Amino acid sequence: MIAEKTVKMIDEPAGRVGGYLITWGEPRQPDMQGEYFTPETDVGLDWYERRPVLYHHGLDGALKAAVIGLIDSLTPDEIGLWAEAQLDLRKRYVRAVRRLVDQGVLSWSSGSLPHLVEVGEGGRIKRWPIVEGSLTPTPAEPRRTDVRTLKNAYKALGLDMARLGLGDTEESKPKLEDERGRSMTEETRTPLKRLPLADEREALKAGGIEVGSEFDSLDALDMLHGYMLLRSAKSFRGVSERYSNALAAKVERAKLKAIKADELAYSTQTGFGDEWAPDLWSQQIWHKARQDNTILPLFQSVEMPSNPFELPIEGADPTVYFVPETQDEAHLTLDAGNPMPDSKIGSGKVTLNAKKLALRVGFSSELVEDAVVPVLNIYREQAVRAIADAIDNVLLNGDATKGASGNINSDAARPPTTAKYLALDGLRHLPLVERTQNAVNMNGAPTLAKMRQTRFKMAGKYAARPSDLAWIVDSGTYAALLNISEFLTMDKAGPLATAQTGQIGYVDGIPVFVSAEMSLTEADGKVGGGANSKGQAVCVYRPGWYVGYRRKIAVSVDYLSYYDSYQLTATVRLAFVRFDNEVASCLYNIAV
Contact of 438 with 585, CB cutoff 8 Å: yes
Residue 186: pLDDT over 80: no
More confidently predicted of 259 and 471: 471
Contact of 549 with 301, CB cutoff 8 Å: yes
Residue in 530, 537, 550 with CA at minimum distance from that of residue 585? 537
Please report, as a single letter, which amino acid is at residue 410.
Answer: S
Which of 167-171, 440-444, 487-491, 517-521 is predicted with the least confidence, judged by mean pLDDT?
A: 167-171
Residue 438: pLDDT over 50: yes
Residue 296: pLDDT over 90: no
Residue 221: pLDDT over 50: yes
pLDDT of the residue at 334: 66
Q: How confident is the model at residue 189 (pLDDT cuts 50, 70, 90)?
A: very low
Residue 319: pLDDT over 80: no
pLDDT of the residue at 464: 92
More confidently predicted of 548 and 362: 548
CA 215, 217, 221, 222: dihedral to nearest 10 degrees? -70
More confidently predicted of 155 and 559: 559
pLDDT of the residue at 191: 33
**Mean pLDDT for the stretch of residues 520-531:** 93
pLDDT digits (tens, 9 = 90+) for 106-146: 778 888 888 888 988 888 999 999 988 888 776 554 455 55
| CB contact burial 494-520 (16+ within 10 A = b; e otherwise) | bbbbeebbbbbbbbeebbbbbbebbbb
DSSP string over 71-138:
EEEEEE-SSEEEEEEEE-TTSHHHHHHHHHHHTT--EEEEEB-GGG-EE-GGGBEEE----EEEEESS
Residue 458: pLDDT over 90: yes
Which of 16-30, 57-71, 477-491, 571-585 is predicted with the least confidence, judged by mean pLDDT?
A: 57-71
Q: How many Å separate Cα 278 from the centre of its chain?
A: 23
Residue 49: pLDDT over 70: yes
For the chain, what is the radius of gyration of the CA atoms? 27
Residue 515: pLDDT over 80: yes
Taken as a whole, the chain contains a residue count of 592
Residue 314: pLDDT over 60: yes
Please report, as a single letter, which amino acid is at residue 559.
Answer: Y
CB atoms within 10 A of CB 298: 21
| Cis preceding-peptide flag for 339 (omega within 30 of 0) | no
Q: How confident is the model at residue 203 (pLDDT cuts 50, 70, 90)?
A: very low
Give the Cα separation of 549 and 425 in Å (integer): 16
Residue 465 CB-density burial (10 A; 0-12 exposed, 13-18 middle, 19+ buried) = middle
DSSP three-state, residue 341: coil
**Mean pLDDT for the stretch of residues 544-572:** 83
Q: How far is CA 335 from CA 320, 338, 346, 453, in A?
A: 18, 6, 21, 47
DSSP helix, strand, coil percent of the chain (3-state; round to 5): 30, 25, 45
**Mean pLDDT for the stretch of residues 163-186:** 43
Tell me the β-bridge partners of 86: 16, 70
pLDDT digits (tens, 9 = 90+) for 380-428: 677 777 888 899 999 999 999 988 888 999 998 999 999 999 999 999 9
**Mean pLDDT for the stretch of residues 517-545:** 93
More confidently predicted of 314 and 567: 567
Q: How confident is the model at residue 279 (pLDDT cuts 50, 70, 90)?
A: low
Taking the complete model, does pTM exceed 0.75, yes or no? no
**Mean pLDDT for the stretch of residues 448-467:** 93
Residue 439: pLDDT over 80: yes
Residue 185: pLDDT over 60: no
DSSP state of 172: G
pLDDT digits (tens, 9 = 90+) for 228-244: 766 666 666 666 666 77
pLDDT of the residue at 61: 57
Residue 434: pLDDT over 90: yes
Residue in 150, 143, 167 with CA at minimum distance from that of residue 30? 143
More confidently predicted of 257 and 58: 58
**Mean pLDDT for the stretch of residues 203-211:** 43
Please state whether beta strands 488-489 and 355-364 pair in parallel, antiparallel, or not at all (unpaired). Answer: unpaired
DSSP three-state, residue 421: helix
**Mean pLDDT for the stretch of residues 364-392:** 72
**Mean pLDDT for the stretch of residues 377-382:** 69
pLDDT of the residue at 423: 93
Residue 286: pLDDT over 60: yes
- Provide CB contacts within 8 A for 441, sequence distance 6+: 588, 589
More confidently predicted of 256 and 86: 86
Give the Cα separation of 147 and 150 in Å (integer): 5
Residue 267: pLDDT over 90: no
pLDDT of the residue at 188: 36
pLDDT of the residue at 522: 95
